[in-house]
Amino acid sequence: MTVVSDPTSQSVKRPSRLFKNKMAKLASIPMILTALVVFVGGTLWTVVYSFTGSRMLPKTNWVGFDQYERLWSSDRWIISIKNLAIYGFCSMILTLVIGFTLAACLDRKIRFESAFRTIFLYPFALSFVVTGLAWQWILNPDFGLQSLVRSWGWGSFNFDPLNNPDIVIFGLLIAGIWQGSGLIMCIMLAGLRGIDEDIWKAAKVDGIGTIKTYLVVIIPMMRPVFVTALVLIASGIIKLYDLVVAQTGGGPGLSSEVPAKYVIELMFRAQNLGQGFAASTMMLCSVVVILIPWAYLEFGGRKRG
């Protein structure tokens, strides 16, 4: 995505510019072709076929916007979108806050820092499927957390998110954050370590408190780190699928369905490719709607400045 603009190449004549670094360009041809054919080509193909009535096999019987009309009148899709919005919003904020707080705590030169770092990062080494299963067991009311607390004597303790349609998405959220915040912590920690010691000294001289220094001085300086973290979290949110399949299977009822699962179920279980393509096109649209203004601000702004 980054555009490398070499100042010397501006002065060189046009024709030779194309043949500059010939070997490097030659070597990147396979990747360029892959990107064009697989990503761009595949995306265009999907968008085009979302306007057809394809069932099990792709066919070109055009139906206009019928698939999209059906999509937006489908309960399963509306529930999926709502769930993704709740999960996305909470996961974005909580992962950042928890990740940064843990990193800041570790940065205070505590003892056994590497041990804590390893513990916090461990969940990230587990796949979403394992995470989902583990949390399914932890949140199971008959053997998990609820029965443990009850066995300690708090008999009325009630915590059963996975069987309650209203809060099941928060059961998923717990598992998602548990899995993801360790990595964000590591990225944040690396960012904090990159801050010059002199900044801290200067803040101390000026008599600014530790927390205030973090909020007002350090966090603005860590902007690139936050951008990296945001991109990582956001891509994790939009592809949320395996966690749901492993932990709840979309249930109870349809209450923990997500858009990626809608695409898979419609394409393969309902054998309705057109509907699945329409749903994935909508997912692409939502990513593009967020990505384009952001990319414009991020990269367009820098050129001007």
Among 40, 56, 125, 231, binds other proteins (CB under 8 A): 56
Q: Answer positive or negative: Cα dihedral of 214, 216, 221, 225.
A: positive
**253 near other proteins, rule: CB under 8 A:** yes
**249 near other proteins, rule: CB under 8 A:** yes
Q: Answer positive or negative: Cα dihedral of 180, 182, 184, 187.
A: negative
Contacting range for other proteins; rule: CB under 8 A; set: 126-134, 170-178, 195-203, 251-259:
251-259
Shortest gap between Cβ of 271 and other proteins (angstroms)? 4
**76 near other proteins, rule: CB under 8 A:** yes
Among 174, 254, 284, 291, binds other proteins (CB under 8 A): 254
Q: For residues 263 and 62, give the distance between their C-alpha atoms in angstroms, rounded to a whole number.
A: 20
Shortest gap between Cβ of 64 and other proteins (angstroms)? 16
Q: What angle do CA 218, 87, 98 make, to 5 degrees?
A: 30
Q: Answer positive or negative: Cα dihedral of 67, 68, 74, 79.
A: positive
Q: For residues 96 and 229, give the distance between their C-alpha atoms in angstroms, rounded to a whole number.
A: 8
| Closest CA relative to residue 108, chosen from 212, 211, 219 | 211
Q: For residues 106 and 127, give the distance between their C-alpha atoms in angstroms, rounded to a whole number.
A: 25
Among 165, 209, 224, 293, binds other proteins (CB under 8 A): 165
Q: What is the three-class DSSP state of 266? A: helix
Shortest gap between Cβ of 257 and other proteins (angstroms)? 9
**41 near other proteins, rule: CB under 8 A:** no
Cβ neighbourhood burial of 139 (10 Å; 0-12, 13-18, 19+): buried
Shortest gap between Cβ of 54 and other proteins (angstroms)? 10
Q: What angle do CA 27, 30, 36 make, to 5 degrees?
A: 130
Shortest gap between Cβ of 79 and other proteins (angstroms)? 9
**72 near other proteins, rule: CB under 8 A:** no
Site for other proteins in 260-289 (CB under 8 A): 265-266, 268-272, 275
- Give me 281's structure tokens: 């096109």
For residues 247 and 135, is the Cβ–Cβ distance under 8 A? yes
Among 55, 117, 150, 239, binds other proteins (CB under 8 A): 55
Among 24, 57, 205, 211, binds other proteins (CB under 8 A): 57
Shortest gap between Cβ of 131 and other proteins (angstroms)? 18
**228 near other proteins, rule: CB under 8 A:** no
Among 75, 119, 202, 227, binds other proteins (CB under 8 A): 75
Query: C-alpha distances in angstroms, 200 versus 92, 150, 185, 193?
Result: 28, 47, 20, 12
**185 near other proteins, rule: CB under 8 A:** no
Site for other proteins in 77-136 (CB under 8 A): none
Residues that bind other proteins (CB under 8 A): 55-57, 75-76, 141-142, 163, 165, 249, 251-255, 265-266, 268-272, 275
